Amino acid sequence: MSEHILKFWFRFAENIITQITPNLIYNYIYNSTLLVNKISFYWFPYSVVLVLIIVVQMGVVNITKNTTMICAPLMAQSVEQVLSNMYQAKAEGADVVEIRLDCINNFQPGKDLEIILTKKPLPVLIVYRPKWAGGLYEGDEHKRLEALHLAEDLGADYVDFELKVASNILGKQYSSHQSGTRFIVSCNLDCETPSEEDLGYLVSRMQATGADIIKLVFSVNDITEIARIFQLLSHCQVPIIAYSVGERGFVSQLLSPKFNGALVYGSLKGTPVSGLPTVESLRQTYKVGHINADTKVFGLISKPVGHSKGPILHNPTFRHVNYNGIYVPMFVDDLKKFFSTYSSPDFAGFSVGFPYKEAVMKFCDEVHPLAQAIAAVNTIIRRPSDGKLIGYNTDCEASITAIEDAIKGYKNGTASFGSPLAGRMFVLAGAGGAGRALAFGAKSRGARVVIFDIDFERAKSLASDVMGAARPFEDILNFQPEKGAILANATPLGMHPNTDRVPVSEETLRDYQLVFDAVYTPRKTRLLKDAEAAGAIIVSGVEMFLRQAIGQFNLFTGKEGNKIIAKY
């Protein structure tokens, strides 16, 4: 048989077997040089089928769109709570739970492990973390290791050993390793993210222990450092868990399946863990089981990003139109480093939020004329033909049409020609990216714009662009508008968690016919509540958010998202 036929079958076997859960098979294919040398060319395909049949009979094949498991970390203080949390994790969609024995009060290995492991409703990963590795255990090291060995004897699916002790333990352990327990060798990197070269050396050390799976936990200072984690996940020759903790590392959990990560972590309802998505969101919002190497990545570039509702809007819409994409929050500190690092076609488009809508323009290769006029971009597309970044603004029409429709609705559908904003005073708080979109939209409808901003020079610059007036921000508190004026808040005032802050006094709200707030978390802000009480028409930032998201979705996918997103 010719060499190219052999290579075909080897690739076939490789592709099939990388989808099999047991790491024994995975390691055999990737680490054994005997496979090609000792199996006849003619019998090789039949050998592959035989291996698959055996594994199926063992009941360990779970071929899905990817093999990444969702793990819920449990840090309960009692065995009873551990059991309760395990059943909750299973109900919420976790594939495995990580049980931290060092968190259990008065932990008794013989008694407690037997209860946990005989009553477990799903696979269990046992961790007994000492204080020197970031855990809570401060007792005798020998007793700690004995407890981990006991967990293996009692049927734990996975047992975690720190790299510092794994080299001395696992070599001896494998000589008599008869159980189905898989060993994880872990390393927590509290320092700066290592270079690719240093990471490669570290991974080699971890693989040399004989681990079934290796685990690396980072603490990145910038989202660009996560690119090294993705590189590691893509090229590691053994199953690997790798992610970063903290808000800047959030995206490392969500995109791990794209880069072949073995496991992602998610918290349970009622027990949030900082920097982690929930199990429910991983399963329902992000659908991580359906992410693969071809999935296109879209995300919100902002600082902060925790308030964003974009993922619960865009991700279901992607699935509804059968588009292989995922939308994630991206906590970005440095735009230049970000765009330089994430320059591959995989990162296909971005929403742009506070405070970057103006600054991001210089990183776009081309800017749509409307966005150019406004001098603010809220949507970026990477053009497939040449990889260039194209900037757009979908905020302008979204915000102004939301305001216009609210006024028209208040008039009970009375027919009118032109915009209901024509000739009105339009009082704008904030001259940043969202404020610029509102100002240009109001000007295009014939409104007279008065701008207040904490940066008075910025307010004057925008006022000049729209032939309006600028006032110092402190004047807005007691500013007396004309009757029937519009007030639009385009500042972060009132955004969660600082929900009690408002830009104007309650006394002046009665003079506005309509009050719009670009803030959409919470949905009804303090400003809108006060305005409603004063008798004004109110328009939530959710209306603007939905409308601009429709425009973004159409740009992201080339498909119509109007009817789907409107159901939000």
Give the separation between CA 94 and CA 268, rounded to whole angstroms: 9
| Residue 66 · residue 291 · CB < 8 Å | yes
Give the separation between CA 210 and CA 199, rounded to whole angstroms: 18
Residue of 215, 258, 296, 357 with catalytic role: 357
Which helix (DSSP H) or strand (DSSP E) does residue 145 occupy?
Answer: helix 141-153
The answer to whether 357 is a known catalytic residue is yes
Q: Can you spell out the DSSP letters for 398-463?
A: HHHHHHHHHHHHHTTT---SS-TTTT-EEEEE--SHHHHHHHHHHHHTT-EEEEEESSHHHHHHHH
Q: List residues bridging with 472 in a β-sheet.
A: 453
Give the separation between CA 263 and CA 261, rounded to whole angstroms: 6
User: Angle of helix 109-118 relative to helix 79-92, nearest 10 degrees?
Assistant: 20
User: Angle of helix 141-153 relative to helix 163-175, nearest 10 degrees?
Assistant: 50
Residue 224 DSSP label = G
Long-range contacts of 199-204 (CB under 8 A, 24+ apart): 199/228, 199/232, 203/232, 203/236, 203/240
Residue 68 DSSP label = P
Token pair of 486 as six digits: 């519009």
Residue 506 DSSP label = H
How distant, in Å, are the alpha carbons of 132, 161, 197, 203, 216 from that of 188? Answer: 11, 12, 18, 12, 6
Close Cβ partners of 144 (under 8 Å, ≥ 6 residues apart): 128, 130, 137
Q: List residues bridging with 218 in a β-sheet.
A: 244
End-to-end CA separation in angstroms for the chain: 59
Q: List residues bridging with 125 in a β-sheet.
A: 98, 158
Give the separation between CA 404 and CA 420, rounded to whole angstroms: 6
User: Angle of helix 163-175 relative to helix 196-208, nearest 10 degrees?
Assistant: 30
Close Cβ partners of 390 (under 8 Å, ≥ 6 residues apart): 364, 365, 366, 367, 368, 380, 381, 382, 383
Q: List residues bridging with 184 in a β-sheet.
A: 160, 213
Residue type (1 letter), 423? G
Distance of CA 438 to the CA centre of its chain: 29
Token pair of 431 as six digits: 């001259």
Give the separation between CA 445 and CA 488, rounded to whole angstroms: 15
Between strands 124-127 and 158-162, the pairing is parallel
Give catalytic residue positions.
Answer: 357
